[in-house]
Amino acid sequence: MIWGPLLVASAACYMIKLAGLSLPQRFLEGPRVQRIIPLLPVALLAALVATQTFATGRHLVLDVRAAALAIAAVAVLLRAPFLVVVVAGAATAALLRLVL
Amino acid sequence: MFTGASQFAFIGVIGAGGNPWAGAATAALLGSRNALYGLRLSSLLGVRGPRRLVASQLVLDETTAMAIARDKPELSRFAFLATGVALFCLWNLGTLIGALATQALPDPKALGLDAAPPAAFLALLAPRLRAREPLAVALAAALIALVALPFVPSGVPLLIVAAAVVLYGIRPR
């Protein structure tokens, strides 16, 4: 079932935003909270990049997605816009699958 | 849910065969940064009552960046609202088009669509890596996730990574 988790996650994401605008400043001012919250997206996005590139299900694999990620990384380093990075990654995987 | 990284993450976990609740937890954890944005914006925007309920939904990376870059409160409010409304309309329109279009696609893998999410996550991640600590945290997180992956259900490596960040952040220094 996807709808239950989806609705809960949506409500949570909205309540987090509302809390930021509503809570007194001191609630989020602790030094530990200030350190942890900016690092959470960094760590989770990095973990998502890794698991979505080097795994299928629960198996580690090395396939065309690794090359696609490398090309996407080059696009990022060249400061390409978001959409160009995504298309570069997808196009690399598609081309390699066509050729190999 | 209107916060891109969380939406991608939720879909990513489910698409990889993970438990939807693990996807929900990851989405909420990724959204936690919006609370800090809200905190910075609350004094700039000064929204109260029902308007705050609407403004909350527009608290995002982009709207925060646009709002705090202005030097007058009224310009901040305008930048926040204009960016937020434009994003809300275009983002959801794009999502709808994508949802309808993929039903007409024969084989997503032939188009490399499975390589698109990691590229998107990388593009979201890159601007956050401009210092040494986040770079080290990102590399450690990727490593932890891959090491844990064969041993736990799909989606759970992300929760392990989140727990590791919390442990790292609360350690005495």
Tell me which residue in A8, A28, A44 faces B158 most closely, judged by beta carbons: A44
Q: Are B114 and A65 in contact (CB under 8 A)?
A: yes
Question: Are the beta carbons of A54 and B36 separated by less than 8 Å?
Answer: no
**Could you read off the pLDDT of B49-61 as tens digits, one per residue?**
899 999 999 999 8
Name residues 11-70 of chain A within 8 A of B (Cβ).
Answer: 12-14, 16-23, 25, 28, 32, 34-60, 64-65, 68-69
CA distance to partner chain A, nearest, from residue B104 (Å) = 18
Q: pLDDT class for A73, splitting at 50, 70, 90?
A: very high
pLDDT of B69 higher than 90:
no
Which site among A6, A13, A63, A96 would you substitute to test the B interface, given the most B Cβ atoms closer than 10 Å to its Cβ?
Answer: A13
Does the pLDDT of residue B173 top 80, yes or no? no
Which pLDDT score, from 0 to 100, does residue A75 have? Answer: 97
Indicate the residue of A34, A38, A46 with minimum beta-carbon distance to B141. A46
What's the pLDDT at A31?
Answer: 85
Mean pLDDT calculated for residue range B20-31 = 93
The token duo for B107 is 């084989």
Decide if pLDDT at B83 tops 90: yes
pLDDT (0 to 100) of residue A51:
93
Whole-number pLDDT of residue B96: 94
Q: Find residues 99-158 of chain B whose CB sits inside 8 Å of chain A.
A: 109-126, 128-129, 133-134, 137-146, 149-150, 153-154, 157-158
> What is residue B40's predicted lDDT score, i.e. its pLDDT?
84
Note the pLDDT of residue A34: 84
pLDDT, residue B18, reads: 86
**What's the average model confidence in pLDDT over B11-40?**
90
Give percent of chain B above pLDDT 70. Answer: 99
Is the pTM for the entire model greater than 0.90? Answer: no
The neighbouring-strand residues paired with A59 are A56
pLDDT, tens digit (0-9, with 9 covering 90-100), for A26-54: 777 788 888 888 899 999 999 999 999 99
If residue B5 lies in a helix (H) or strand (E), which one and from where to where? Answer: helix B4-15
A60 phi/psi in degrees, rounded to 5? -75, 130
What percent of chain B is predicted at pLDDT more than 90?
Answer: 58
The number of CA neighbours under 13 Å toward the Cβ of B155 is 20
The CA–CA distances, whole Å, from A79 to A21, A75, B118 equal 32, 6, 17
pLDDT at residue B106, as a whole number: 76
Residue B101: pLDDT above 90? no
